[in-house]
Each structure stands twice: as structure tokens, then as C-alpha cells.
Structure 1
Amino acid sequence: MDNRPLTPQEVADILKISKSTVYDLMKRRELNSYRVGKKLRVDLSDVEKYKNKTKIPVQEAGLADAVKSTVPAAYEEQYFSSNNTFIISGQDVILDILCRYLNKHPAGIRALRSYEGSYNAVYALYQGEVQAATAHMWDSKTGEYNVSYIERMLPGTPAVIIRLAGRMQGFYVSKGNPREIRDWRDLRRPDITIVNREKGSGTRILLDEHLRKMGISGRSIKGYYKEYQSHIAVASSVARGEADCGIGNEKACLQVQGIDFIPIQKEQYDMILKKEDINTPAADAIFSILRSEEFKLELQGLGGYDLDDIGRIISET
């Protein structure tokens, strides 16, 4: 049997179900899956096993067939699959905690995570692959976070932007800052090597926007093309001496020994929902959790977050 690995979207196409339903099957371990790096994959043989396992013999179908016959074909998948699965795309630990609260919520929300950077998270929301995206994308022309990007990246799609937290972005440098790195222009010094974040991440956008304002090309900076997928990975690279400087939030710096943090800019970390989903049980649960004292106290215990406006709608597009 051809046993090639399949992406979740390919599995969804084979089974004629939504991609979110595939993630739900994986989470419930009804469909075997595994990771290749940060990507989920499913073997074709496991898809066939799942199909055979869920087949209902004609003589045993009974009520299932009777009910199914009353459901128009266009709504068949919606009727038989759970509409409570909710995928949140983003990388901050806030989202891990939020999903834990959602999974315990009385509304019965099954919350899943997609670990994408800001740009790709918003694009996935536009494509309908996730139900919520998070972002911290700075616009150097307006000096604001996220709003202008959301207006451009979700054309014709009314959306709501909800504040999650304020975070401090800065430089990760070796203990004592031996290279005396203080501002953005120091990054183009010939004695400085940096480590970068991947394209589409809010941190990469922050760097590129500042370089654009200063008329500096990224290719002139040593290490610009060496990319890592998380703040922790960047901080660890600096701690190991692989680079003199990396950029990330203060929270990650608190978790890595051997580095100092040079604050450079406060950023806003927000959640984006489509306005058509704002009155769903999942959205109601999210607002309830974000505005609860219990949730706020748990985040305060982590440190590194400004939570004054958590749960507040800051813009509607």
C-alpha cells in the first residue's frame, strides 16, 4: 500500500471533511498522527484504517441513516461533525493557558493550537483554517500595532481586534553586554552578529520596519539570514555564543540564563476574530475567560505582561 505522509489538508480532502475536524480527530486520538518538525503528518494507511473503523454496516445503520436522510447533503458534514472545535493560531504561552481554560469551560469548547507567527496566523484566519489569530505587527508609518495590517490582510472581512497583553521587546545580549549594543544602528556594525526570527513573525516585522525607516538593508547585517522559530530559541542562541544579539520579548529572556535584556520597544499583543464569529459560544467563552480575575492572576504570576487592557476590544475593521 502507498503509505506516503499526508498533510491535515490532504486528509481533509480524502475524507471530505473540514481541516478543523481533522485536527479534532487527531486530538481525540481517533486518527493517528505524528510531527515532522513543527508540522503534523498522517500516514495514508492510518487514514484507511480510520475509514474502515468508522464504516457502519447497512443492517446496523438504523437510526443513523434515518437521521442522515433528513439532513440536506450540503449540511451533512456540519450536522455530524462538532462545531465546537476552535483553533487559535499564535505562539505565546498565553494561548496555551487560554486553551486549557476553554477546554474546561461549561460551553464544551475543544480548543486546539496552531503555532504560527503573526502574519501567517492572520492569513490562516482569512483562509478559514483557524477561528482566531494572534499578532504583534508594528506599522512604522502609524506607530501602531496590528490594526493597519488586519485591515489590509482581511479584505472584505469585518473583524474584531481584542487586546491580550502589552509586552516589552528588546535585544538579547551576552551577560554584561560586552559589545555595548544599545540601539538598532548597532546591528550593522561589522563586529556584531545577530540571529533573526522567521519571516512573518511579529519580531521579524519589527526589525524589518526599523531597518526600512533607517534605510538599512538586511543583507548588510551579519547573521540576518540565520532564523529561529521562537523567542526562546533566539535567546538560547545568544546564550551559547552563536550570536552577539537577538530580538525578542522580555518574557523569554527570564527563562534563559547567561543573557541580559536591553528594552527597546513596548508592543501590543492582540487576538483577531472574524465579526461573524463574535456571538458564538467560543467567542463568548474567550471574552469571559480573558476578563476573569482568575485568568489574569495566573498570567501575572508568569511576569513580563502588561494586562491592564486584557479582553478589551481595541478596534473593529
Structure 2
Amino acid sequence: MEKIYRPQEVADQLKIKKATVYELIKRGELKSAKVGKQIRISQDQLDEYLTRTNQTGQPAGLTDALPPVMDIPRFSADQASRQMDYLLHTNGLIINSQESRTVELLRSLLSQRENSLPLLHSYMNDYNSLYSLYYEKTHMALTCFCFRQFEERIGQISHFLPGKEAAVIHICTLKTGFFVQKGNPKKINSLKDLCRSDIRFLNREKGNGLRIYLDRLLTEQKTDRSFIPGYSDESLSHMSSANTVASGLADVSMGDFSHLAAYPQLEFIPLTEASMDLVILKSAMEQTCFASILETINSREFKDSLLHFNGYETFHTGEVQFTVP
């Protein structure tokens, strides 16, 4: 009878962490099966994985040397709606965003102020964050859209909030681009290189600001997306994108320059700048809790903390502009 292993038993055999086994399964490198609610790996599945890694010269525990990745699982529309309905009935302000580090920084500083409410983070991409704000299912949306002219970002946000007037509070600008292996062995220098048959691309998910910008460029250049190997493969975070390229599972992906600090295996090819902005409906701005948020964003402590992220700029941090209904 074929031997069947639990994830912990596989981790013990490969001398890696149990979390790494789950990551290998999640990325499709290690096949598995579900018995009820339990994950099990057969001897054949384990042998197939070991044979493949030996052939590529990549040790089974390579991902163990990389920073841990915590992608947020995908939610169905029904799940996301129920999650926000729950948060709306709790004592706090809901902020929708993929930018976890900035939310945590804002949450930490707000907790030290009077007249502030707890921040409840609902992890959503830029499109869905503004969609939720439009339907008033959230209190704030922290977005990150790419731009060619700084003023473009207001028009882009307005596009997702038809008929609504919103305050756009600038947080910072940051550098976005392509993650490639150290030394750029595949010589990836432009969007056209993504169409090469020897390139494996990892895209960002639909609704992410980088994905929206990429699709815009591809449309302008009349590039057929079907010619890009891996275009339909999606990553849910900057760190996951960097991790996938660093581990050799993709040749190029897109993300925020600041995450490069955790990956000495990578180089960065600049694409464009992006603007991180906190969007609040104008009708809510007079409430005391939002005044506390604005004061926090304008504080020296908040701005100095943002500068710890490599590539972040705070020249316009705290500036407020309004969308046109």
C-alpha cells in the first residue's frame, strides 16, 4: 500500500518548516489531496516533487531561506459582503486596502490619540476598496494607483466614485516596477520582453493598481495579452511577487521597490511612480475621528516612519484634494 504523509511528516523529511510545505502546495509545486478536511501527500506526489527539484538543481528547502509570504486568500463576493457587514456593526472604522504596513503604522499611532476609533482592516485591492466606498460599505479606502502625471491620480479615483465627492489625502509616492533575478539573466528591459516565449511572467490580480496600469500600457501599445506567458497567473501582494521570482518560479513580476530590501536575489527595473492615498467621502470629513486621522498623517512621527520604507517619498504627505462628482 502506498505511503501517505501528513504535512508535518513531509516537513520532517525535507527538513523544512511545516508552513513551507503548505506554501509549496499552495503554489502547485507539491501536489496533494484532501481527505475530508485534512491535507495528505502520497509517496508518489512527494517523489515527483523531489525528482523535479533535483532536475532543476533547486534544493527542496530553498523557499525556507526566503522571507515568509502571507497572501490573503481570495474572497467570493458573498464572503466579502458578509465580512464588511460584520465589521460595520463593530466599534471601529473600516479601512480597505492591500497596504498592510501603512495601515498598521496608522493604527499604531492613532491608538495613542484621544478621540480616535480602532481601525479594522479589510484586505481588498484598489478597485474593490473604492467600489466598497462607493456603496458606503467601508469608511475609508487606502489606494495605490500608478501615474505619469501626479494630478492623474485624482481623476483615476473619481472614475471609481461616480457622483460622489471624496477627500483624497496623500500618504506618499513610491516606486513601482519589475522584479527580476540578480544580474537580470533574461535581459528583461521593456514590456515587449514579456511576450518572449522564454519568459515566465507573474501578473498582479485584477483590480490592483499595478495591474490596471499595465493593462493600460498594453492597450496603448496594442499588445495582445495572449502572447504573454503567465499573464493569467496572479499574485496577491508585492511580497508574494518578489518571493516567486526569488525562488525561480517566475522570471519577472511587478511590485513596490521597498520590498526589494528583503530579497538580495533580485534586481528592480523601474516602471513608474505610484501614489498611495487615503480616500474618505467628503460628507464624513467633519467627524472628530477623521480629524484625528488627518492630524496623525500630518504628524512628523508618521512621515518619518514612512521614510523607513526604501523609496517612499513624503513631499506631499497630508495634502488634501477633492474628487469631482
Aligned match of 2:87? 20
- Report matched runs for 1:45-56 at 5 Å: none
Q: What is the CA–CA distance in structure 1 between the aligned matches of 2:81 and 2:150, rounded to whole Å? A: 37
Supply the distance in 1 between the matched residues of 2:291 and 2:244 (Cα, whole angstroms).
Answer: 40
2:95 equivalent to 1:88 = yes
| Percent identity of equivalent pairs | 29
SS for the counterpart of 2:321 is: strand
3-state SS in 2 of match to 1:254: helix
- Residues 110-189 of structure 1: matches in 2 within 5 Å? 110-138=118-146, 145-189=152-196
Residue type at the aligned position of 2:144 = H
Give the superposed CA RMSD.
2.1
Q: Which amino acid aligns with 2:95?
A: I
Give, as a single letter, the amino acid of the residue that structure 2 aligns with 1:112: L
User: CA contact under 8 A between 2:146 and 2:273: conserved in structure 1?
Assistant: no
Residue deviations 1:98-125 (CA, integer Å, cap 9, x gap): 1122233211311111111111110011
Distance 1:297-1:115 versus aligned 2 partners, 3 A rule: same
Rounded Cα–Cα distance in structure 2 between residues aligned with 1:231 and 1:8: 21
Rate the CA distance shift 1:139–1:249 in 2: closer, same or farther, 3 A: closer
Aligned structure 1 segments of 4 or more residues deviating by more than 6 angstroms: none
Question: CA 1:104/1:7 → structure 2, altered by over 3 Å: closer, same or farther?
Answer: farther
TM-score, normalising length: structure 2: 0.71
Distance 1:19 1:164, change over 3 A: same
Q: How far apart, in 1, do the equivalents of 2:103 and 2:136 lie?
A: 19
Contact 2:205 2:234 in 1 (8 A): yes
Of the candidates 293, 299, 310, which is equivalent to residue 317 of structure 2? Answer: 310
Q: Deviations over 1:221-249 (max 9, x none)?
A: 00101111001001100001111100111
Give, as a single letter, the amino acid of the residue that structure 1 aligns with 2:87.
Answer: S
Query: How many Å separate the matches in 2 of 1:160 and 1:105?
Result: 22
Q: 1:187 and 1:248, CA in 2 relative to 1: closer, same or farther beyond 3 A?
A: same
Pair 1:144–1:104, CA change in 2 (3 A): same
Give the superposition deviation at 1:21: 3.9
* Alpha-carbon distance, 1:153 to partner: 1.8
- TM-score (normalizing by structure 1): 0.72
Quote the offset at 1:10 in angstroms: 4.5
Q: Is the 8 A contact 1:162 1:313 kept in 2?
A: yes
Say whether 1:102 aligns with 2:110: yes
Task: Give the Cα separation in 2 of the matches to 1:292 and 1:161.
Answer: 17
SS at match of 1:216: coil
**Between 227-236 and 128-137, the greater mean CA deviation after superposition:** 128-137
1:188 Cα deviation after fit: 1.2
Alpha-carbon distance in 2 for matches of 1:168, 1:143 = 13
Q: Secondary structure at the match of 2:131?
A: helix
Task: Trace 1:291-310 onto structure 2 (pairs within 5 A).
Answer: 291-310=298-317
- Distance in 2 (CA, whole Å) between partners of 1:19 and 1:135 is 22
Kindly state the Cα deviation for residue 143 of structure 1 after the two structures are TM-superposed.
Answer: 7.8
Q: Deviations over 1:171-211 (max 9, x none)?
A: 10001101111122211122211101110001111111111
Write the deviation string for residues 73-102 of structure 1: whole angstroms up to 9, x where unpaired: xxxxxxxxx4xx211111221121111222
- Opposite residue 309 of structure 2, the aligned amino acid is L
* Unaligned 5+ runs, structure 2: 1-77
Determine if contact 1:161/1:272 at 8 Å carries over to the other structure. Answer: yes
Task: Render the CA deviation track for 1:30-63: whole Å, top value 9, x for unaligned.
Answer: xxxxxxxxxxxxxxxxxxxxxxxxxxxxxxxxxx
Q: 1:137 to 1:296 in 2, by over 3 A?
A: closer
> What is the alpha-carbon distance in structure 2 between the residues aligned to residue 257 and residue 151 of structure 1?
38
Matches of 1:316 and 1:153 in 2, distance apart? Answer: 10
Alignment of 1:3-82 (within 5 A): 7=79, 9-10=81-82, 19-22=86-89, 24=90, 82=91
Structure 1 residue ranges without an equivalent (≥5) = 1-5, 13-17, 25-81
Aligned equivalents of 1:108 and 1:312: distance in 2? 20
Task: Flag the 1:95–1:267 CA change in 2: closer, same or farther, 3 A.
Answer: same
Task: Determine if the alignment matches structure 1 residue 201 to structure 2 residue 208.
Answer: yes
2:20 aligned partner: none
- Contact 1:134/1:272 (<8 A) preserved: yes
1:161 positional shift = 1.1
What is the CA–CA distance in structure 2 between the aligned matches of 1:215 and 1:150, rounded to whole Å? 25
Aligned length: 246
Residues 89, 115 of structure 1: 8 Å contact kept: yes
CA distance in 1, matches of 2:151, 2:224: 23
1:249 alignment partner in structure 2: 256
Distance 1:186 1:281, change over 3 A: same
| Residue 190 (structure 1) aligns with | 197
